[in-house]
Amino acid sequence: MSKLLWIAFEASDAPAAAGFAQAVGLGFDLLQISGQPVTDIGADKVLSANLSEMPTSDGLAKAIAGVAGGYSHVGAVSSMRSKDVLARVAGLMDAAMVTDVVAAESPTRFKRPMVAGSILATVEVLSMPAVLTVRPAGFAKGDRGGSSSVESISLDATSVAKRLGASARGGARPDLTQARVIVSGGRPLKDAQTFESVIGGLADALGGAVGATRAAVDSGIAANELQVGQTGKIVAPDLYIAAGISGSTQHMAGIKDSKIIVAINKDPDAPIFEFADYGLVADLYQAIPELRAKIGK
């Protein structure tokens, strides 16, 4: 049977299933681990586990693999969590895996970036099932409507790894991977406080999210979950403002799908100007407050 099982860890992961399933030409069921069942995206059925706490990956992968038998494709939105869990699911199912799918040519041929986005590879899956993590920006948004039936299931996700504690930062700002506007800062932001007031301030004025380069995160100026790039988050906002960012291949790998890229950099030869829709050669400490004044917040 050719059918997709889409794993939604949270309700917000679900809608991307529709556009992807359409592109591949497959019907799909939704396995929703937590949150209110999403019934208006065209799933044949929604399997709702309704867990109140996300299990660690060994238990969760075992539980998902238990449901996934019989499906030709198992997919999820690309994220650190889906990479952690789904690659383990692939191991348990002895399945092929394609990470970070950005386009589908057929149910067995997918495109994905590699080498920090320098190369677009076409990957052929040689044996089914296939486990996929998908970047939604590559696919049209599916139609919403209808009402799928919901089946409650109980997942046994007993884990060997124990979670001792977790930080949940983030706060009031939108999630980086979903944000329409992102303001990102790099190495020249002196310290965490300056980063927060300059970059965070502009982001708040625009109702956007905050991102950072690896250099900014490594030097403790920004939190690790804000890192954008090859080894951080992949973003696709309408507007990406990069301030004090040189434009390394690794950083650009994470922002190429942005609709508009603005670069503010005091070095006219910074590589980021080769990618930016609008480049402003300026000191960010002058330009950003000026821009905020214009926006009027």
Partner 1 sequence: MRLRRALMKILVPIKRVVDPYAKVRSLPDGSGMDTTGLKFEINPFDEIAVEEAVRLKEKDPSIEIVAVSIGGAECEEQLRKGLAMGADRAILVETNDPLDSTVVAAELAALANELKPDMILMGKQATDDDNNQAGQMLAAKLNWPQATFAAKVERGDGIVRVTRETDTGDETLELPLPCLVTTDLRLNEPRYIALPGIIKARSKPLEKRPRMTSAAPKTRIVRMEAPAARQAGRKVGSVDELYVALKDRGAL
Ligand X SMILES: Cc1cc2nc3c(=O)[nH]c(=O)nc-3n(C[C@H](O)[C@H](O)[C@H](O)COP(=O)(O)OP(=O)(O)OC[C@H]3O[C@@H](n4cnc5c(N)ncnc54)[C@H](O)[C@@H]3O)c2cc1C
Give whole-number Cα distances, 185 to 168, 170, 198, 226, 259, in Å.
21, 16, 9, 10, 18
> Of the ranges 26-34, 136-144, 149-157, 210-218, which one interacts with partner 1 (CB under 8 A)?
210-218
Find the shortest distance in angstroms from Cβ 234 to ligand X: 9
Q: Sketch the per residue contact string, 17 through 56, with partner 1: x for CB under 8 A, - otherwise.
A: ---------------------------------------x
143 near 257, Cβ under 8 Å? no
How far is the C-alpha of 115 from the C-alpha of 72, rounded, in Å? 28
How far is the C-alpha of 136 from the C-alpha of 41, rounded, in Å? 14
| 290: CB partners within 8 A, 6+ apart | none
Is the Cβ of residue 18 or residue 270 nearer to ligand X in the bound state?
A: 270
Residue in 8, 24, 63, 97 binding partner 1, rule: CB under 8 A: 97
Q: Could you list the residues that contact ligand X (CB under 6 A)?
A: 186-188, 213-216, 227-232, 244-246, 248, 250-251, 254, 264-267, 270, 283-285
Is the Cβ of residue 45 or residue 109 nearer to partner 1 in the bound state?
A: 109
* 223 is a site residue for partner 1 (CB under 8 A): yes
User: Structure tokens of 266?
Assistant: 């005091």
Residue 188 binding: pick among partner 1, ligand X, none (C-beta 5-8 Å cut-off by kind): ligand X
210 forms bridges with which residues in the sheet?
183
Q: Amino acid identity, residue 295?
A: I
Residue 96 binding: pick among partner 1, ligand X, none (C-beta 5-8 Å cut-off by kind): partner 1
